[in-house]
């Protein structure tokens, strides 16, 4: 029983450490999508002119989510969304949802997370992959 409690405490600490690193404003330097073996960086192509994530740090408890604001500017206009996020799986998974009552949770892999760089990726059911590289502001 003591070992199980210690394992849970270590996992929670890794998740909270990731939330602490995410806290703040991040700007995308790359937004790549791969479909049928072809990769396109939408920022290089000029479709996405800027993409910003603002993670509000918080002290995570079980099943708790923190605030996330995403602003995207494209060649067609801009959009800002407010979502909720948490970190699970020993700091390796970012989960997002629209609001507190939402039952749909999006799962995003944290491929890299340092104090200055974050790489997030998501693969859909068809095997298409999206990868976003972020720099902390």
Residue 58: CB atoms within 10 Å = 16
pLDDT tens-place string over residues 4-34? 443 444 445 899 999 999 999 999 999 999 9
Residue 16: CATH number of its domain = 2.40.128.20
Average pLDDT over residues 44-68: 89
Going by pLDDT thresholds of 50, 70 and 90, the confidence category of residue 59 is confident
Cβ distance 53 to 25 under 8 Å?
yes
User: Are β-strands 24-35 and 48-55 bridged in parallel, bridged antiparallel, or unpaired?
Assistant: antiparallel
> Alpha-carbon distance 117 to 49, whole Å?
19
- 62: pLDDT confidence band, cut at 50, 70 and 90? low
Provide the pLDDT for residue 8: 43
CA nearest 134: which of 118, 115, 120, 110? Answer: 118
Q: Looking at the 3D structure of the chain, how many domains does it have?
A: 1
Q: How confident is the model at residue 60 (pLDDT cuts 50, 70, 90)?
A: confident
Instruction: For residue 30, give every residue at least 6 positions away whose Cβ sits within 8 Å of its Cβ, in sequence order, or none.
Output: 41, 43, 44, 131, 132, 133
pLDDT at 4: 40
Domain with 88 in it? 2-136
């Amino acid at each position: 029983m003591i070992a199980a409690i210690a394992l849970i405490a270590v996992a929670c600490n890794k998740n909270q450490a990731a939330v602490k690193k995410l806290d703040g404003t991040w700007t995308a330097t790359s937004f790549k999508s791969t479909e049928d073996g072809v990769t396109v960086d939408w920022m290089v192509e000029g479709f996405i002119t800027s993409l910003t994530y603002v993670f509000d740090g918080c002290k995570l408890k079980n099943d708790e989510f923190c605030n996330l604001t995403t602003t995207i500017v494209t060649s067609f206009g801009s959009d800002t969304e407010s979502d909720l996020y948490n970190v699970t799986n020993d700091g390796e998974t970012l989960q997002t949802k629209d609001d507190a009552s939402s039952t749909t949770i999006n799962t995003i892999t944290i491929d890299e997370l340092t104090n200055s760089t974050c790489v997030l990726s998501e693969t859909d059911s068809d095997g298409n992959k999206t990868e976003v590289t972020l720099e902390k502001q």
